[in-house]
Structure 1
Amino acid sequence: MDSLSGAGPRRGRGRLGEASPGARAAAAPWARFSAWLECVCVVTFDLELGQALELVYPSDFRLTDKEAASETPSSASASGSVVGRGAPGMRKTDTTTVGLPCPCKQVKDSSVKRGYFQKSLVLVSRLPFVRLFQALLGLIAPEYFDRLAPCLEAVCSEIDQWPAPTPGQTLKLPVMGVVLQVRIPSRVDKPEYSPPKQCSHESLLPTPVVLASVHELDLFRCFQPVLTHVQTLWELMLLGEPLLVLAPSPAMASDLVLALISCLQPLKFCCDYRPYFTIHDSEFKEFTTRTQAPPNVVLGVTNPFFIKTLQHWPHILRVGEPKMSGDLPKQVKLKKPSRLKTLDTKPGLYTAYSAHLHRDKALLKRLLKGLQKKRPWDTQTASLRRHLLELTHSFIIPLEHYMASLMPLKKSITPWKTPPQIRPFRQDDFLRSLEHAGPQLTCILKGDWLGLYRRFFKSPHFDGWYRQRHREMAHKLEALHLEAICEAQNIETWMKDKSEVEVVDLVLKLREKLVQAQGHQLPVKEATLQRAQLYIETAIGSLPKDLQAVLCPP
């Protein structure tokens, strides 16, 4: 689980998740709460002014005006669940935020122009635990709308007693008389893992409600109306294409967007996305302008007005309320963008894009047959998830193999010379390698794989994947160089014919490598680090006293 950060001052913090030393004491009473949630918000909706932040708890938590606007949904839907903040796979990257729909309540009020007032309950978190927060809101919202503020105080106090969300651990989280049992994912997890086993629990606690995942949605349920187009949508996600998802409710829109984003696992999604986007969002004008190409973003919306304002977008997916054709879910049809009509556009995938890969008819038949036989939803989701994982793996493995071939051989790394460079990625060389080491080795799907790779090279996802892999390889190269230095037979022998400048240069480089390694950027053994420190001390000891004083100030 990554360490994540956001923007703006809050509760004595300079950045989300980072407490300044002077503020740690003040933040201590809510330290455990902050490990899970930043705050709980109550939002009111005004027909003319849009969203307004009514209440934030804990009360000392501060949101900037822009953050408050982006995290306050305007839908009247009573379904939906959660608001999250920047996280792996949650809107842009690193420090940005994301808003999803929340439970809300409408009450008739003749004094209000709209005829009723509306309030929403919002959770703000830096963790992408959508499924957990949906369950949490399902417990909190009904009680809050009956008891209001005292309920929030009690719930936040309970959450403040939860154990930290430590990666790899299965935890029991008591709240409002219910115990939620969850497993916190870790970096070493495979994308598919078994649900957490039932923990033994104290007799004082009720039987836990076991959540199979803290973050993964029910993929099959989300994709029911678009099963025939799953591979086309996978390609659009892989290529980072702009996509508008219009659904009848915030819950459907956000769940479908999140399901689409998860299609690329284990490949990191490097584009922007907004599971629930409204006309009140601060970037509304930027996304709807026609003076420039649509940005690489996936938008989830409910307002049909977006069909009119985003007609220039290349891909628009409109889904309606779930309908059945006999005992099977009715599928949206593939339609040309020219068929788009204002507001009353029928459900469909409106795009001129032609999929590069042939549809897996066997998968579709298996899923639909499972639906007829009332196969469990988790089983259906597991089957669909496995197919998408295998598809992504088949696409990425040739890239990984070619990238590995660019790494210098270990025998070319010598102790006292600058390590060799990673060779450049040459797209033509890679494409030629596919003839003998392409995705056909692991995937039965036929189609224009070469054309798909060519378009992928122009996408943000190739750039993101390449930068990450190149950075990992560079760190590995530095680690191997450090090991080569530390395995050298005798540093005193090396220093005999070296100038003071060369010795000082070695000290500085070794120190830099130690700093990198201790910051977990280099995969180096502890014994290697200890030997490097000994080399530094030996090298400094061979220098004149004045240089020693400079390198080791008192």
Structure 2
Amino acid sequence: MTDGVNKFIENELGDAWDSFHNWLYCICVVTFDLELGQALESIYPRHVTLTKEEISNVCYLAFPDSNSGCMGDTNFIIRLQNNQGTRNLKSEYKHYNSKCPTALQVDGSYYWGYVYFRQVKDISLPRGYFQKSVVMLSFLPFNNLFSKICSYIAPEYFENGEVTLEAVCYNIERWPRPMPGATLNLPLLGSVFQTFIPLATSSNSTLALLSEPGDNQIQTHVEDLNLFEILQPVLSHIHLLWELVIVCEPIVVLASSPTHCSSMVLALTRLICPLQFCGDYRPYFTIHDSEFKQFTSKAQGPPPVILGVTNPFFGKTLHHWPHTIRLSDDLTHSQKYKLKKTAPTRMIDNTPGIYTAYKPFLHKDKNIIKKLLSGVNSKRPYEVQTAILRRHLLELTQSFMIPLERYIASLMPLQRSISPFKAPPSPLPFNPDHFFATLDSAGPQLTLNNTGIKGDWTGLYRKFFRSPNFKAWFNARYSDLTLKLQALQTEALSNADLKDWVQGRPEVEVVDMVLRLRNKITKCEQHDIPVHDSIKEKLNHRLDEIVTALPDDLKNILQVS
């Protein structure tokens, strides 16, 4: 496609590229330049801009950073900081986030990157190798869908050149917007990807497909990690890893391939679903990253981050990190990793395993491990094994969080403390000692009696309270309580007899009430206060009642007719 045709398309679409950005931010092509090293060759659509730091990070993350060579084609996932703030973030994502599960929500601080790297011998090139990557950047964590799409379009691009990626952009521009709860058909280069984005309230994340797939139809989940396949080598230590993740301990995953380390990092963050992992995590990270010094600093100590790395140099630079998972090159998963109960202060031992001095607060559930291992012997399908593992981890996380959910609900002030004529009360403060006092009668042991998981729950909660996971969860729940109190106070105001209240009131109080009502109505219309439409109508009616009782001169001051 000529530049003239390309410019014509862009001019014709104008702001319509907004539809493309509902799904992707851009598509980058990274190549190896003899003078520059890894360099950005092109970006699609043409109008998209990245900062110098973002370009540098994308370029280095687009190629494997290891001694393995990674010949042929390699697929992996990256996550990097968005240095442009929220100005390049779609406003529609706010509505999307309110409908989808936490694991699929947009975090505007980061881009997700889906990488397809090809390295093959080519004697016609100066280095003797063809080395190039296609990288799809998005704010949506659709790891399965976008990985498959990238694997679909990259070979076409390597074969046919830039006309392929221009056609891809044009196709994506015509896609429907991402809608949780809907089956979506996404035409792309002659095929149709059919997918389903689950709702936050749905317990079933399977595809709700409308029909049997046609010859050109590709059905795929937006996010579908095979947890059991990834975690099988560390299965006997799954409860230790669950603890490390829920309290946001720093973990480094060292592998020979970015495919392996990125899969393991993503699997670790999913161990605590439906609780959202709120520490930082980078499925694949290199020594050239702009945050390398921050993550490797010994002065400040390791941050709450899960890093996936391939360069052996990290074995030395991250020796002060308390927890390391060394992955094997063996992909058969027949090997079971041993637990090395020492901190990886001297990474001389290169054997696969989990290196940590962490002492778990809880005992492991041997029954679930036996059940899964027996499934290996009986050749139980991975999909079934993953479902069993997910259910167990879900029950474990929910049992841990239910006492907290109950306690946070108890922080709600009594209904009688809500007055239509006063500001809504605040939720009661969180008191750890009051929470611990509830554990004997409402602790996790009540729902985990049959699993054999016992231990120092109080100690684990204390450590959890110092983690980003707790802070994010608590802030969200506290905000929910605050909004609920505002909604209850707004409802009380809508039912108040303001006709009677206004009698004999000083004008300053009446004016203040008019302004408060207007403010409430505005917040309700902007959905800042979650109330039914009937409450908004009542508020408008109350406002009219007060205005009717005002003298004309005051009406004029308030610009009310």
Smaller-chain TM-score bracket: 0.7 to 0.9
Check conservation: 2:114, 2:136, Cα contact below 8 A: no
Check conservation: 1:37, 1:124, Cα contact below 8 A: yes
Check conservation: 2:272, 2:397, Cα contact below 8 A: yes
Task: Supply the distance in 1 between the matched residues of 2:120 and 2:553 (Cα, whole angstroms).
Answer: 76
Check conservation: 1:84, 1:125, Cα contact below 8 A: no
Letter in 1 for 2:379: K
Q: Secondary structure in 2 aligned to 1:299?
A: strand
- Which one of the candidate residues 262, 272, 277 is aligned to 1:269? 277
For the structure 1 residues 49 and 308, does the alpha-carbon distance in structure 2 shift closer, same or farther, using more than 3 Å as the test?
A: farther
For the structure 1 residues 84 and 161, does the alpha-carbon distance in structure 2 shift closer, same or farther, using more than 3 Å as the test?
A: farther
Shift of 1:320: 1.3
Task: Supply the distance in 2 between the matched residues of 1:284 and 1:339 (Cα, whole angstroms).
Answer: 19
Task: Supply the distance in 2 between the matched residues of 1:462 and 1:526 (Cα, whole angstroms).
Answer: 34
Q: Does 1:526 align with 2:533?
A: yes
- Which one of the candidate residues 210, 220, 223 is aligned to 2:219? 210
- Which one of the candidate residues 348, 358, 365 is aligned to 2:370? 365
For the structure 1 residues 540 and 247, does the alpha-carbon distance in structure 2 shift closer, same or farther, using more than 3 Å as the test?
A: farther
Shift of 1:89: 5.1
* Residue matched to 2:109: 95
Task: Supply the distance in 1 between the matched residues of 2:34 and 2:504 (Cα, whole angstroms).
Answer: 80
For the structure 1 residues 239 and 47, does the alpha-carbon distance in structure 2 shift closer, same or farther, using more than 3 Å as the test?
A: farther
Check conservation: 2:248, 2:305, Cα contact below 8 A: yes
Shift of 1:252: 1.0
Task: Supply the distance in 1 between the matched residues of 2:433 and 2:230 (Cα, whole angstroms).
Answer: 38
Q: Does 1:459 align with 2:470?
A: no
For the structure 1 residues 176 and 485, does the alpha-carbon distance in structure 2 shift closer, same or farther, using more than 3 Å as the test?
A: same
Shift of 1:247: 1.4
Matches within 5 A, 1:431-446: 431-444=436-449, 445-446=453-454
Check conservation: 2:326, 2:353, Cα contact below 8 A: yes
Q: Does 1:196 align with 2:207?
A: yes
Q: Quote the sequence identity (%).
A: 46
Task: Supply the distance in 1 between the matched residues of 2:489 and 2:266 (Cα, whole angstroms).
Answer: 42
Check conservation: 1:517, 1:523, Cα contact below 8 A: yes
Q: Does 1:80 align with 2:75?
A: yes
Task: Supply the distance in 1 between the matched residues of 2:140 and 2:172 (Cα, whole angstroms).
Answer: 15
CA RMSD after TM alignment:
2.7
Aligned length: 522
* Residue matched to 2:239: 231
Letter in 1 for 2:420: P
Task: Supply the distance in 2 between the matched residues of 1:354 and 1:128 (Cα, whole angstroms).
Answer: 33
Shift of 1:100: 5.4
Unaligned runs of 5+ in 1: 1-22
Q: Does 1:62 align with 2:49?
A: yes
TM-score normalised according to structure 2 size? 0.86
Matches within 5 A, 1:145-544: 145-190=158-203, 193-200=204-211, 206=215, 208-211=217-220, 213-322=221-330, 324=332, 329-338=334-343, 341-342=346-347, 345-444=350-449, 445-488=453-496, 490-544=497-551
Deviations 1:475-530 (A, max 9, x none): 00000001111112x21101113222222222222333333333323221100011
Shift of 1:294: 1.1
Task: Supply the distance in 2 between the matched residues of 1:343 and 1:108 (Cα, whole angstroms).
Answer: 37
For the structure 1 residues 70 and 163, does the alpha-carbon distance in structure 2 shift closer, same or farther, using more than 3 Å as the test?
A: same
TM-score normalised according to structure 1 size? 0.88
Shift of 1:437: 0.5
Q: Secondary structure in 1 aligned to 2:38?
A: strand
Task: Supply the distance in 2 between the matched residues of 1:61 and 1:264 (Cα, whole angstroms).
Answer: 36
For the structure 1 residues 45 and 504, does the alpha-carbon distance in structure 2 shift closer, same or farther, using more than 3 Å as the test?
A: farther
Letter in 1 for 2:426: Q
Task: Supply the distance in 2 between the matched residues of 1:427 and 1:338 (Cα, whole angstroms).
Answer: 30
Unaligned runs of 5+ in 2: 1-9, 83-96
Check conservation: 2:254, 2:327, Cα contact below 8 A: yes
Q: Secondary structure in 1 aligned to 2:523?
A: helix
Task: Supply the distance in 1 between the matched residues of 2:402 and 2:556 (Cα, whole angstroms).
Answer: 52
Task: Supply the distance in 1 between the matched residues of 2:41 and 2:415 (Cα, whole angstroms).
Answer: 61
Check conservation: 1:82, 1:122, Cα contact below 8 A: no
Shift of 1:152: 1.1
Deviates more, 1:331-340 or 1:181-190: 331-340
Shift of 1:273: 1.0
